[in-house]
Chain A
Amino acid sequence: MLAEGKTPFPPSVEDFFLPGLGGQPWISKITVLLWIGVALVILFFLLAYRSPKLVPTKSQWVAESMYGMIRDGVAKETIGHEGIRFAPYLTSLFLFILVTNLWGIIPVAQISPNSHIAFPTFLALLSWVMYNYVGIRKHGFAKYIKLNCFPPGTPLWIAPLLVPMEFFSNLILRPITLAIRLFANMFAGHLILLVFTLAGFALLGANAVFIKPVSIVAWALAIVLTLFETVIAVLQAYVFVILTAAYLQGALAEEH
């Protein structure tokens, strides 16, 4: 992140794309962080749940309460009782996004893989495929499309206006907004942290002596914003999951 001598300020898109090993994108900081994140989640859950007990140990309790939070707080709450079968997927999704988001504030890593749109895109596409699949399986293709484009009970004369809008918003736009919301939050978060951290160095390196102390203010703000980013990281993971759950619920519901 820091270049010796000259500080690259202001930060640019290039700061998000450090070259991978040997210039290819397969093994880069982003993908390594992703693998480590996945490994950490898997390891934690396997270790915490290697011998589950009725009265849980601390780590078992933590693992259980994460699953329980998504299971009861999101799947059951949003979709209803039949939503419990989606709880494992929603929890995996939540944990994946949470861990990859949190890389954005962890020292040394300090960039979230989700600030590369590829990962949010994949996750959003998966959610899109899933809720459409579930809906079509439940209602049949024609009825599902009809339910999504023309909500029952709306007056017929509004159909020319409503049908394209509903179609576009329910079946096309949803994965795009899902992906962009997550990506943009992580991208902007990283950019903001970069701005304040790099600004600190830029101010320190300024020619005028009286400007140098201002760099402390910039770094203090970077720390505050890092804490803020923590909240964003958790919140965006939650939002992504709860929206997926809501789309699943909409696909399963008889009426919209």
Chain B
Amino acid sequence: MHLLYLAADETPNPVWPIWQELVIGAIGFALLCFILMKYVFPRMEETFRARVDAIEGGIKRAEEAQAEANALLEQYRQQLAEARSDAARIRDEARADAAGIRDEILAQAREESERIIAAGRESLAAERSTIVRELRAELGTLAVDLAGRIVGESLADEARRHGTVERFLADLGEGPTPAQAGGRR
């Protein structure tokens, strides 16, 4: 094979490399490789990794947040259920209390009314017996006066002497009770 770089004015053989160009190609390519492999591609790998991390981290974070949200939801539901049962319990208790209080008040009221009625009856009876007593005295006096007028002389001393009126009235009182007697009258 004919060596082409022997003379500059000779046409080189195109399939035989020019050694100077081999050297320059080697230096150029080595430079390109060196700079790209040292300053660019490792950083690209780093970026790729960071990107994957970012995406996977994002997914993981989202999953965590989801799980947390689910746990919270569950907790709230539980709390809500608890609150509901509490409320129901309190309502029941209140209802029971109210019924108790009402019964108590009713009982008190009934007692009170009975007491008032009884007191009324008592005072009525007392008044009545007073009136009856007064009436008796009045009646005795009136009857003696009346009899005295009819007879024409005073029987008052006589009646007082013998206790006629008292005896008569005692006879009357022995029969029916004043209340029954009053009711009949």
Hey, which bits of chain A sit against chain B, CB under 8 A? Answer: 12-14, 16-17, 19, 23-26, 30-31, 34-35, 37-38, 41-42, 45-46, 49, 52-54, 56, 63-64, 67-68, 87-89, 91-93, 95-96, 113, 116-119, 121-123, 126, 180, 183, 187
Contacts and interface: CB of A to CB of B under 8 A. Distances in A.
A180 B14 CA distance: 11
B24 interface: yes
B173 to A, nearest CB: 122
B15 to A, nearest CB: 6
Interface stretch (B46-54, B59-67, B89-97, B120-128): B46-54
Q: Dominant SS at the B interface?
A: helix
Nearest to B35: A42
Q: Which 3 A-B pairs have the closest CB atoms?
A: A118-B21, A118-B17, A88-B41
30 contacts: A13-B14, A23-B8, A23-B9, A24-B8, A24-B20, A34-B28, A35-B24, A37-B28, A38-B29, A38-B32, A49-B43, A52-B43, A52-B46, A54-B51, A63-B40, A88-B33, A91-B36, A92-B29, A92-B37, A93-B29, A95-B36, A96-B28, A96-B32, A116-B21, A117-B15, A118-B18, A118-B22, A119-B25, A123-B25, A126-B29
Contacts of A17: 11-12
Interface of B: 5, 8-9, 11-12, 14-22, 24-26, 28-29, 31-33, 35-37, 39-44, 46-48, 50-51, 54
B44 A52 contact: yes
Contacts of A92: 29, 32-33, 36-37
Contacts of A16: 14
Q: Main SS of the interface on chain A?
A: helix
A117 B8 contact: no
A144 to B, nearest CB: 25
Given A23-B9, A25-B20, A52-B46, 20 more contacts: A13-B11, A13-B12, A14-B11, A17-B11, A42-B36, A49-B43, A54-B47, A56-B47, A63-B40, A63-B44, A64-B47, A87-B41, A91-B41, A92-B29, A95-B32, A113-B21, A117-B15, A117-B16, A118-B17, A119-B22
A116 B44 contact: no
Contacts of B17: 116-118, 121-122
Of the listed residues B5, B8, B16, B28, the one surrounded by the most CB atoms of chain A closer than 10 A to its CB is B28
Contacts of A30: 21
Contacts of A88: 33, 36-37, 41-42
B22 A121 contact: yes
A46 B31 CA distance: 13
Contacts of A126: 29
A8 to B, nearest CB: 13
A87 to B, nearest CB: 7
B12 to A, nearest CB: 5
